[in-house]
Amino acid sequence: MNCIIHRRAQFSASRRYWLPELDEAENQQRFGPCSRFPGHGHNYVLVVSRAGELDRYGMVQNFSGLKQIIKTEVIRQLDYTYLNDVWPEFRQTLPTTENMARVIWHRLASHLPLVQIQLFEHPELWADYRGNGMEASLTLKTHFSAAHRLALPELSYEENCEIYGKCARSHGHNYHLEVSVTGEIDSRTGMLVDLGALQGAINELVLEPLDHTFLNKDIAYFGTVVPTAENIALYIARLLTEPIRELGAELEKVKLFETPNNSCEIYCCSSSHKQEDEGI
């Protein structure tokens, strides 16, 4: 039986976004504070996923052996280093989180049948790489607070309670939102999307309009559409699809946590045609 196992590891390192072919003003314009000398650091969390058949001992691979490979090939080499200088790959392409995930994959690929490399820059920003050339994905995590009521306007209060239970009453949530985008890593900058521009689009199109609102009344779309977590996630996906495409990436997934126990995901096909506006 085929199985996927995951091993988590951590390392601390610093880096600088700086291209020598650009002058100081051009680097500052392109990379902002990340261009400052001598650089900045992160406590990275790495998750290595590999696949295999279960052996007679009930294992894909002994976790101690997996740990040792990751430690030897990655952690010992990167921990407490200046990334721009430590591996030659980072002198050609800057050590962004998405490019680091790609390079780590190739460093480990000869040792392990990999499924995915996931690298967290911090808990609200991470990259996923699955061995597809220069293609990777990047996820931003954020949050907003809003109230809603689950009710179909054509039904009575009693009928809505039968369908939605207590959620037929007005109540609120602290929503946690994950927006994942996919694209090609630039061979020089190491970026698949301008992170500042992506964050700006999410702030402008999602957080500012939705935060601290009563969705049913304050957002026209939810005047006729019940604001379930699923419908909110779909609404956010439709809001972001074209603006993210204009940034040179594709919206891959929207994941919305209504509570720590309840969440939903909307997967967006990057090859699909532009979705119809549907009144948004």
Residues assigned a catalytic role = 167, 212, 258
181 contacts 137 by C-beta, under 8 angstroms = yes
Nearest residue to 114 (alpha-carbon basis) of 137, 97, 131, 133: 131
Tokens 């894909």 belong to 60
Side chain identity, residue 54 = L
Nearest residue to 245 (alpha-carbon basis) of 185, 177, 183: 183
Distance from C-alpha of 131 to C-alpha of 114, rounded to nearest angstrom: 8
Cis link prior to 88 (omega < 30° from 0)?
Answer: no
Nearest residue to 202 (alpha-carbon basis) of 259, 148, 249: 249
Q: What are phi and psi of 25, to 5 degrees?
A: -65, -40
Ramachandran assignment for 148, one of left (phi > 0), alpha (psi -120 to 50 degrees), beta (any other): beta
Half-sphere exposure of 189 (CA within 13 A, CB side): 15
Instruction: Give the count of beta carbons closer than 10 Å to the beta carbon of residue 130.
Output: 16
227 SS3 class = coil
Beta bridge partners of 125: 122, 140
Instruction: Report CA-CA distances (Å) from 225 to 50, 217, 222, 228, 279.
Output: 42, 11, 5, 9, 11
